[in-house]
Amino acid sequence: MQNKSLKDWFIERKKQQKLARPKDVEIDDRVGELWVKCYNCGLQIPKKEFEANENVCPECDYHFRINARTRINQLFDENSFSELFTNIKPTDPFSFVDTQSYKSRIEVAQEKTKLNDAVICGKAKIDGYKLLAAVMDFDFMGGSMGSVVGEKVTLLLEKALETKLPVLVITASGGARMQESALSLMQMAKTSLAVSKLNDAGVLYMTLLTEPTFGGVTASFGTIGDIIIAEKGARIGFAGRRVIEGTIRQKLPEDFQTAEYLLKYGQVDVVARRQELRSILSKFLAIHSK
């Protein structure tokens, strides 16, 4: 119902824009407050409609990156999410300073996102099916994995081992958190070892790779799901584009490291549009619930 009215609205609006250009600047007013501009096709979308469409452009289907809270609201049954491990916070074990101190980077990120660190864990439901979920947030220091992300994901996996509930980890990460040096590297081992215990116990472990997922998360819990789903258009890879270009000194294919590219090379089970995720996950949960 909403989609239909939205479509009508766009046709109407396009006409208006055409008529208005270039004199009428009124249309571009208050962009960012009430309007969202699509990065991909440039269309201006009223924020309310955009949010009703799960932050996907209704015109070109461009999937906007979303933060962890938005993801939780969109994906899980209403009011089903109850957060776990809320009191674990980052610290600065190495007194790391680059152009800024790690301490101040943490403070800025916490202020900006209202999160303790780059992941939210909790119990949730999809179509009534219970599961344990970890949702990463790219807005918190690029979703980087340090001790807190590693610990919370591991605690969640251990809880799954204990309760036999299926797990879904939704990734969005630039990689390991350099400011925690080797400790962040070790989180890759810690989380992957926890997944190995789930394998032995036959507990379903699913990952949903979203824009963007790289480095230490790709090379640990992100790519060892029993089921791996990639969200449409997401960029996913091990090494970053610039690193690869710098090493091999040749141009990379247009669709390199996109969800669709990964599907072509056999790296993910499913590529899904955001609007399809609930129904796909619900089916996976039903089929594996014995």
Partner 1 sequence: MVLDFEKQVSEIENKIYELKQMSQNSGLDLSSEIKILESQAYEYKCELYANLKPFQKMQIARHTNRPNFLDYVNLIAEDFIELHGDRHGADDRAMIGGVCHIGEKSVMLVGTQKGKNTKENLEYNFGMPQPEGYRKALRLFEHANRFNLPIITLIDTPGAYPGIKAEQTNQGEAIAFNLKEMGKLKVPIVAIITGEGCSGGALGIGVANKVLMLEHAYYTVISPEGCASILWRDVTKAEEASEALKITACDLLKYKIIDDVIKEPLGGAHMDYNETAKNMKDMILRSLSEFDKMKGEQIVQHRYNKFRKMGVFI
Q: Give the interface with Zn ion as residue ranges (CB under 5 A).
A: 38, 40-41, 57, 59-60, 62
The three state secondary structure string of 149-195 is HHHHHHHHHHHHHHHCCCEEEEEEECCECHHHHHHHHHHHHHHHHHH
Contact partner, 99, from Zn ion, partner 1, none, Cβ < 5-8 Å per class: partner 1
Q: In whole angstroms, give the CA distance from residue 218 to residue 212.
A: 10
Q: Please, what is the end-to-end C-alpha distance for the chain in angstroms?
A: 36
Binding site for partner 1 (CB under 8 A): 88-91, 93-94, 96-99, 147-148, 150-151, 154, 176, 178-190, 192-193, 195-197, 199-200, 215-216, 218-224, 237-239, 243-244, 247-248, 250, 252-253, 256-257, 265-267
CB of 289 to partner 1, least distance (A): 24
| Complex with Zn ion: residue 20 or 41, whichever CB lies closer | 41
CB of 6 to Zn ion, least distance (A): 13
| Complex with partner 1: residue 38 or 217, whichever CB lies closer | 217
CB of 25 to partner 1, least distance (A): 37
Handedness of CA 27, 32, 35, 40 (dihedral sign): positive
| Complex with partner 1: residue 91 or 163, whichever CB lies closer | 91
For residue 117, give the DSSP letter: S
Q: Which residues make beta-bridge pairs with 181?
A: none
- The DSSP line for 97-113 is BSSSBHHHHHHHHHHHH
CB of 288 to Zn ion, least distance (A): 35
191 by Cβ neighbours in 10 Å (0-12 / 13-18 / 19+) ranks as buried
| Complex with partner 1: residue 62 or 96, whichever CB lies closer | 96
CB of 252 to partner 1, least distance (A): 7
Nearest CA-CA partner of 40 in 286, 264, 232: 232
3-state secondary structure of 96: coil
Q: Are 209 and 232 in contact (CB under 8 A)?
A: no
Contact partner, 188, from partner 1, Zn ion, none, Cβ < 5-8 Å per class: partner 1
| Complex with partner 1: residue 143 or 150, whichever CB lies closer | 150
Contact partner, 151, from Zn ion, partner 1, none, Cβ < 5-8 Å per class: partner 1
| Complex with Zn ion: residue 56 or 148, whichever CB lies closer | 56
| Complex with Zn ion: residue 9 or 238, whichever CB lies closer | 9
CB of 37 to Zn ion, least distance (A): 9
Q: Are 172 and 138 in contact (CB under 8 A)?
A: yes
CB of 49 to partner 1, least distance (A): 37
